[in-house]
Amino acid sequence: MPIYIFRNPKTDEIFEELVSFAEADNPVILEDGTECYRIPFFENPPFMVNKNAEVWSKDSAYVKKLKPKYVKTRSGHRIRYDPTKHC
C-alpha cells in the first residue's frame, strides 16, 4: 500500500496516510469528522531543487557536520572548505 499526502482543510496541516490503491481517490475522514482530500504529487513535490545556491548556503549545519576538506562550487571549481567563510 502506498503513502499518499493529504491536507486538513480546517488547519491546513499536511500529513501522510497509508492507503490502498482502490481507496486513493476517497477522502480520509479524521476522528472529528473532517474530510481530508489527497494532494496530487505535482502540487506538492517532496523536494525542491535550487540550482542557484551553493551547497553550504542551502544547509550550512549539515555541511559543518560533515566537516569536508573541500567543497565544489556550482561552476565546478574545487575549493578548500572554511566554516567561517562558507556558513
Q: How many CA atoms lie within 13 A of 52 on its CB side?
A: 0
Alpha-carbon distance of 66 to 78, in angstroms, equals 16
pLDDT at 2: 86
Could you read off the pLDDT of 40-74 as tens digits, one per residue? 877 655 555 667 778 788 778 888 888 899 988 88
CA 62 to chain CA centroid, nearest Å: 15
Higher pLDDT, 83 or 9: 9
Indicate if the alpha-carbon torsion angle 1, 47, 69, 62 is positive or negative.
negative
Domain boundaries, the chain: 3-41, 55-86
pLDDT at 51: 72
Confidence at 13, pLDDT banded by 50, 70, 90 = confident
Confidence at 76, pLDDT banded by 50, 70, 90 = confident
